[in-house]
Amino acid sequence: MRRYWQPALLSAELPEKDGAPVRVRLLGEDLLAFRATDGVVGLVEAFCPHRRAPLFFGRNEECGIRCVYHGWKFDVKGDCVDMPSEPEGTALQRKVKLRAYPTAERGGVVWAYMGPPEHQPEPPNFEWLRAPATHRHVSKTHEHCNYLQALEGGLDTAHSSFAHNNRLGDTSEVRNRDRAPRIDIERTDYGYWYSSTRTVDAERVYVRVYHFLMPHGQLRGGFTKASGERAALPKLDGHIWVPIDDENTHVYNWACSYDDSAPISQEQWEAVEAYCGRGRDDLIPGSFALKRNLANDFLIDRQVQKAKTFTGIDGLNTQDFALQEGMGPISDRSKEFLGTSDRAIIFMRRLLLENIAAVETGEAPLGADPATSAGVRACDGILPADVSWKTAFAKELKAKW
């Protein structure tokens, strides 16, 4: 994980220079983020190296965070730039160092690199990060489970016929008519692409193409409704499942307009977020945690489950969380029985294990270089059954931004 740039927080969480710092927990480390006077975001360890006082209560001033216990001040690189409680010119100031990580802001996200400096790659360069701010949006939610089972839920395309069936008995929905998609996978230099194919009728199929981006990202097309109709807002979207620690995850949700002449308005984005169950009214105020959660059984409505939706739980995001968090913080995979619909998950697990072994022997992990994924794009659509999707989607699968 440390060989890749990680989303650390949303840029919107640090709206002003010299503003309030923000606690960040990432890859099991307690950190502090602050926007300095020059606008650069610092990401440093959360406790002062003097007496371990919490820097969250510190003063963010004049390009540094100053501990309010004894006044020691540190810049975004972790260097101690002032030590007023010690004699002037003390050699101690040169020795003291606050652990700090490089940051880069792209696409409304503050990214951090937490790995060996000598292996630091260029900042991330996904297509959605290059799109104009008017054509992309991003949010995040907190999920109480290990990142891997959350990621596996995202890669699982078959579950949408069940967990996300919000129109029971409606056979106009492609995912209702064909609930066993055929999955095809091909390894790439950034991870792999995979496709799911469902039968629409005797002459047509619905194909959705995804990309898995090492180590925990996904791209997917959102151009076609499950009914086969063209979506009102053709877009790319996806998720990044970032480990807070072993038992907690931040899920970054993003969307990017497919058409440069069709920006995504704030109202459209808020409608998507509300439909997914992660809108502003769905979150506990002051947090990224859902109001519908494991403590209240995600407010499942058994009467709705009988008559209207497969789960009786409102919101696509909420439906996923109910199942993924319901497995427990870390699922016991020794008790699983995997099938053909789990091919993308099996492939991903093998890929992670291969790259763990590669890093252990000194090799670079797959996809750490952002150039490998800069040009990819996902797609979906209805095609004649005898037409190759690779041919039909050739143009749509190349980034345009």
Q: Please, which residues have CB within 8 angstroms of residue 308's CB and are 6 or more apart in sequence?
A: 166, 167, 168
- Comparing CA positions, the residue from 323, 281, 327, 272 lying closest to residue 300 is 323
pLDDT for residue 232 is more than 80: no
| pLDDT tier, 227 (very low <50, low <70, confident <90, very high otherwise) | low
Please give the average per-residue pLDDT across 21-50, as a whole number: 98
Other CB atoms within 10 A of residue 229 CB: 10
Tell me, what DSSP letter sits at residue 381? Answer: E
Q: Which two tokens stand for residue 149?
A: 């089972």
What is the pLDDT, as a whole number, of residue 120? 98
Q: Report d(CA 41, CA 133) in Å as an integer.
A: 19
Q: Which amino acid is at 386?
A: D
The alpha-helical segments, DSSP class H, found in 43-124 are 92-95
Please give the average per-residue pLDDT across 222-241, as a whole number: 76
Contact 288, 250 (CB under 8 A): yes
Other CB atoms within 10 A of residue 3 CB: 20
Q: What does residue 313 show for φ and ψ, rounded to 5 degrees?
A: -115, 135
What is the pLDDT, as a whole number, of residue 229? 66
- Comparing CA positions, the residue from 187, 18, 31 lying closest to residue 100 is 31
pLDDT for residue 280 is more than 70: yes
Instruction: Give one DSSP letter per residue of 197-260, joined into a string.
Output: EEE-SSSEEEEEEEEEETTTEEEEEEEE-TTSSEEEEEEEEEEEEEEEETTEEEEEEEEEES-T
pLDDT for residue 228 is more than 70: no
Q: Please, which residues have CB within 8 angstroms of residue 100's CB and are 6 or more apart in sequence?
A: 42, 43, 44, 45, 74, 76, 77, 78
- Comparing CA positions, the residue from 154, 160, 115, 73 lying closest to residue 344 is 154
Other CB atoms within 10 A of residue 84 CB: 10
**Which uninterrupted H or E stretch holds 140?**
strand 136-143
Cβ-in-10-Å burial (0-12, 13-18, 19+) of 301 comes to: middle
Cβ-in-10-Å burial (0-12, 13-18, 19+) of 211 comes to: buried
pLDDT for residue 361 is more than 80: yes
Of 169 and 7, which is predicted with more confidence?
7
Give 70-129 pLDDT, tens digit per residue: 999 999 999 999 999 999 999 999 999 999 999 999 999 999 999 999 999 999 999 999
pLDDT for residue 222 is more than 90: no
Q: Report d(CA 310, CA 318) in Å as an integer.
A: 13
Q: What does residue 129 show for φ and ψ, rounded to 5 degrees?
A: -75, -25
Please give the average per-residue pLDDT across 391-399, as a whole number: 93
**Which uninterrupted H or E stretch holds 10?**
strand 5-10
Mean pLDDT of the chain, nearest integer: 95
What is the pLDDT, as a whole number, of residue 263? 92
What is the percentage of the chain residues whose pLDDT exceeds 70?
A: 98
Domains and CATH numbers, the chain: 5-119 (2.102.10.10), 127-392 (3.90.380.10)
Q: Which two tokens stand for residue 348?
A: 């991903």
CA gyration radius, the chain: 23
Q: What does residue 106 show for φ and ψ, rounded to 5 degrees?
A: -145, 130
